[in-house]
Structure 1
Amino acid sequence: MLVVQSLAVALMYMGLALVLYVLGLFGYRVTLHPLSRYSGPPLGKFTDCYSLYHAALKRLHLAIWQNHLNYGPVVRLGPNKLVFNSITALRDIYNNERLSKSRAYLVAMQAPGVHNIFDVLDKQAHRAKRKLIGQALTQRSMKSFEPIIIQQTNVFLKIIYESSRGPATGAINVTPPCKYLGFDIVSLLAFGQPLNTLTTSKNRFIAGGIAVGNFFQNVRMQYPRLAQLRLTEALNLFANVRKARARNRALVEKLITDRLAEGVDARHDLYSIVAGSIDTKGNGNIRHSEFWAESLFFLPAGGDTTSTCLAALFFYLSRNPICYKKLCEEIRTTFTSGSEIRDGQQLRSCEYLRACIDEALRVAPPVPGALWREQPPTDRVEEEIVIDGHVIPRGTQVGVSLYSLHHNSEYFPDPFAYKPERWLSHTSETQRSAMHEAWSPFSLGPRACAGKAMAYMEVSLLIGKTLWYFDFETAQGVEGQLGAGKEGDTTGRDRLSEYQIYDTFGTTHDGPNLVFHAREETIWELLKEAAD
């Protein structure tokens, strides 16, 4: 009995000590912490659980935007996190050689000690990887790869044509085929092998697997202690996510194994470019090779992000008849046949097409959240780091939410309106200069997205060819509401005219549902090519 009483007393004191520790820690973070003078959501001052909560609901980008409205251009999002919403901060953070990627990115590592271009923190290692991988994504390399992009684009268009011949009220949800197109193209670019997700269902699970994998990693990145303490494994959280990721990894492993069995120069693809410079075998274990790590990043980065821009473009064009009519006129007067629509001077002369794409990337950035940066422990420079006039204490993570910045009315008047015209010459020079500085869907600095040329080519070709062969409109009734906001929603999704994206570091989305009508005067070109 005495032992039990002693144990009870010990547990009581331990509990009391824990309570005092937590109260002391919270008190310090609110009153004495170097970031205590910054405003932000109350829970965020105490714990990163605030970011964890909103990341789990896939709306962290909306929470950050609302916090900027409430607290101003600098928000304390977590105990050691400051998120900014200004052009100056964008430059000061992402063009700063003294800042590196946050250590939170390490939770994305696919194998111990094996980094890819996404999660590598060391700047020299990143530069080497960027230089190497970038060779497959240059404008010149994309030009040689263009026939494959056009071929896959035509497969997409033929599927749209066959679907459009169904019931009169039949609508097509454009998100799935846009995702499948992206994965088929990037698979050919990376491994020289098709996934054929556009035409068969066999490998379509990869889209869902990548979506839940991105969500899982984003949750852990916002609250890295989940990974450090292996809480998700201990509590058996996200078991379905692990199964989906395992299935995706098995597919990638097969793609790599099949490609390694061929000669290095058998195809012009990522492997043929990098084989001589990185470890492709992993000392007998493919999953410990650099090629494995890069491939696991390459698929979502090249295949998933472009679909967000395409789906947003379809959404906004179908709901803005003036924009739709103007873009149709530009495409249909610039070209005389569908085969002319290819990368080159003619396509690049379509200024309104470029404006429509840039505006879609503004309102629906493929990576809407903050890309966290921090001063690495190896930085011994005594001079303080200053972000937009704010001295940043060591140990602070800093970032800019692209969604919040792209909807900052100081730079983009009427920020939730889809206005491609804002990018054209009739906008004042001062306003256009501010917009171009604030617009950053590919990020900037040495960590900027290497796939910019590929994204523009893919999107320009698909939208140009779609408008050449088809007219489209929003589906009627409830079907036509897919992808839009909902009136009365209290989570920031109440704007009916805004295409809804869900923050998973990248994005997930659904819709819009569109009805396509083949143009009799041009569709024969596509059908003739199919017959040939």
Structure 2
Amino acid sequence: MSAAFKWSSIMLSTTLGYIIPGLSIYILIYVTYQIFLHPLSSYPGLLIAKLTDGYNGFYAFQRGLHLKTRQNQLTYGAVVRQGPNKLVFNSIKALQDIYRNDRTTKPKAYIALGPGLSIQTTITAIDRHVHRSRRQLVGQVVSERFMRMFEPTMIDQINLFIQQILPSALNSAPVNITERSKNLGLNIAGLLGFGYDLGLQTSEENRFMFDMLHAGSLWSSIFLQWPNARRFRLGLISLRVFRQLRGKYLSVVEKMIASRQRQDKDAQRDLYSVLADALDSENGGLRQSELWAEANLFLVAAGDTAKTALCAVFFYLSRNDDCYKKLAHEIRSTFTVGSEIRGPALAACRYLRACIDEALRMSPPAAGVLWRESLHTAGDLPFTVDGHVIPGGTLVGVNIYSVHHIAEYFPDPFTYQPERWLDNTMPTEKKRIMRDAFVPFSLGPRGCAGQAMAYSEISLAVAKTMWYFDFERAKGRLGEIGAGAQGAGEGREQPGEFQLLDNFTASHDGPYLTFHCRENLYEDLNNAESREG
């Protein structure tokens, strides 16, 4: 054995002799501090969650964090420490204190939802002034007034959605509503954003975008819950997907924006027509890179919420015959032809709205925790949430899925009961509590701006589908896809509940439905309906 080798061995042993004890002492001190000395040490929760955000990252990777959070709250109570510096609450008071509060903002981790670490968008903006200015712009496009102008375009897309179901109905072939709803939602988002038809309902050419968006949403969710995962470059696991699809995806977005910019800004009623005047960097307006960032997140946000809600409505109607019959009667007695089904007339269909709200309650499109942190300035009163004084640097939030399933707010919470929203015998105070606990679009200044768009799209799609078709869940194993089941995993045991995969928004599969044409009404699809608008 050479002297050099002996010397290297001695040096390695000596180095390890210092590093291992030093690391052990550091870990011991860190664990002791987190458990006994940390400002949040008195709050209950799993030991591993108190030590690392990797706990949240793990369940975000499994896409079941919303369910795990609820299970933790059932075990530990309404306030749970679910991270070294995180508290999850579960009450109406906490909702108000956290989300209707000018002293809270989104934490820095939200930048993980954006396409670049330096670009703030309407959804990811941490600075309240930046968010307010962007929200004012984007909010115009998804307002009720704008939706009324955009409705003819939306109806054209929903008519196409109906037409795509027709061949399956004529052959009694099961239809996967998730696949059809994805195509519909993203196509409407492209038209509303940049007047661009992605052709997703009739062509497979651009459907690769869903794989890209799915991978991006999953890893954004992981990075949001576990910011250090970005530093560890764990997203490299999915690098192959991004390499294959990112270039193609960006090419489509570039084509979308470029084709719109060649038109007059007022040529379409869309997001670009609103943003165009702000594209003036010399006067502090939007830069081109910011337009790209807004376009990317607008496609996801505008296309995803309605997709999940639409699938949930179809799922619950196919499994609750009384609800199905009541809604079918309301729609078919309100209208005489399919072309009458429009926004103003749909507003009178109260049971339709109740069916949608109950689906949003049971299966909210953003089911997890929307984290916030306080903005501490000198002279501020203590920041309190539901009576708890929150130390600086603590992230707080409410798990939407949990609060939607509190029996005190929603009796029999795992049963689909649209009637609960229309019960005139319910005491006023109980109605108020139920409404205050219903937050599928969050609430406050950072709540989802696209609520009017989502309700419009879902209402039109459900009403028109039930006008032209009867439907039932598919026979056999296909008909069980999307439902909970014993042995399906913790929190997924309810057979009457539409199952969501939590990746900040939601992924899902099913329901598979079999459609049947109502008499010869489908002939109208290729005649009067094609001439609407």
* TM-score of the pair, normalised by structure 2: 0.95
Paired residues of 2:367 and 2:504 also in contact (CA < 8 A): yes
Distance across 2 between alignment mates of 1:237 and 1:438: 38
Paired residues of 1:280 and 1:290 also in contact (CA < 8 A): no
Distance across 2 between alignment mates of 1:362 and 1:497: 14
Paired residues of 1:371 and 1:399 also in contact (CA < 8 A): yes
C-alpha deviation, 1:490, in angstroms:
3.4
C-alpha deviation, 1:10, in angstroms:
1.4
1:105-504 to 2 correspondences below 5 Å? 105-166=110-171, 168=172, 170-227=173-230, 229-232=231-234, 236-243=236-243, 244-278=245-279, 289-344=289-344, 346-376=345-375, 379-424=377-422, 425-504=424-503
Classify 1:433/1:528 alpha carbon distance in 2 versus 1 (closer, same or farther; 3 Å).
same
Distance across 2 between alignment mates of 1:420 and 1:368: 19
Q: Is 2:54 the partner of 1:49?
A: yes
Distance across 2 between alignment mates of 1:71 and 1:280: 51
Paired residues of 1:210 and 1:245 also in contact (CA < 8 A): no
Paired residues of 1:84 and 1:399 also in contact (CA < 8 A): yes
SS at the partner of 1:266? Answer: coil
Match of 1:16? Answer: 21
Classify 1:195/1:42 alpha carbon distance in 2 versus 1 (closer, same or farther; 3 Å).
same
Match of 1:31? Answer: 36
Paired residues of 1:213 and 1:241 also in contact (CA < 8 A): no
Distance across 2 between alignment mates of 1:124 and 1:381: 21
SS at the partner of 1:472? Answer: strand
Distance across 2 between alignment mates of 1:369 and 1:232: 22
Amino acid aligned to 2:270: D
Distance across 1 between alignment mates of 2:415 and 2:218: 28
Match of 2:3? Answer: none
Distance across 1 between alignment mates of 2:240 and 2:71: 32
Distance across 1 between alignment mates of 2:434 and 2:425: 14
Distance across 2 between alignment mates of 1:245 and 1:372: 28
Classify 1:295/1:531 alpha carbon distance in 2 versus 1 (closer, same or farther; 3 Å).
closer
Q: Deviations over 1:46-97 (max 9, x none)?
A: 1111101100100000001111111111010111000011000000000111
Classify 1:382/1:57 alpha carbon distance in 2 versus 1 (closer, same or farther; 3 Å).
same
Paired residues of 2:215 and 2:238 also in contact (CA < 8 A): no
Amino acid aligned to 2:436: E
Classify 1:6/1:14 alpha carbon distance in 2 versus 1 (closer, same or farther; 3 Å).
same
Paired residues of 2:114 and 2:297 also in contact (CA < 8 A): no
Distance across 2 between alignment mates of 1:48 and 1:335: 53
Paired residues of 2:177 and 2:513 also in contact (CA < 8 A): yes
C-alpha deviation, 1:374, in angstroms:
0.6
Q: Deviations over 1:293-319 (max 9, x none)?
A: 111110010011211000000000000
C-alpha deviation, 1:128, in angstroms:
0.5
Distance across 2 between alignment mates of 1:142 and 1:469: 24
Classify 1:109/1:480 alpha carbon distance in 2 versus 1 (closer, same or farther; 3 Å).
closer
**What value does the CA root-mean-square deviation take over the aligned residues?**
1.8
Distance across 2 between alignment mates of 1:248 and 1:371: 28
Classify 1:245/1:30 alpha carbon distance in 2 versus 1 (closer, same or farther; 3 Å).
farther
Paired residues of 1:209 and 1:247 also in contact (CA < 8 A): no
Paired residues of 1:172 and 1:515 also in contact (CA < 8 A): yes
Distance across 1 between alignment mates of 2:202 and 2:381: 57
Paired residues of 1:474 and 1:513 also in contact (CA < 8 A): yes
Distance across 2 between alignment mates of 1:382 and 1:140: 39
Amino acid aligned to 2:382: E
C-alpha deviation, 1:408, in angstroms:
1.1
C-alpha deviation, 1:335, in angstroms:
1.0
Unaligned runs of 5+ in 1: none
Paired residues of 1:214 and 1:505 also in contact (CA < 8 A): yes
Distance across 2 between alignment mates of 1:321 and 1:302: 31
Paired residues of 2:339 and 2:529 also in contact (CA < 8 A): no
Amino acid aligned to 2:264: G
Distance across 1 between alignment mates of 2:372 and 2:229: 20
Instruction: Tell me the percent identity.
Output: 45
Paired residues of 1:98 and 1:379 also in contact (CA < 8 A): no
Unaligned runs of 5+ in 2: 1-5
Match of 2:519? Answer: 520
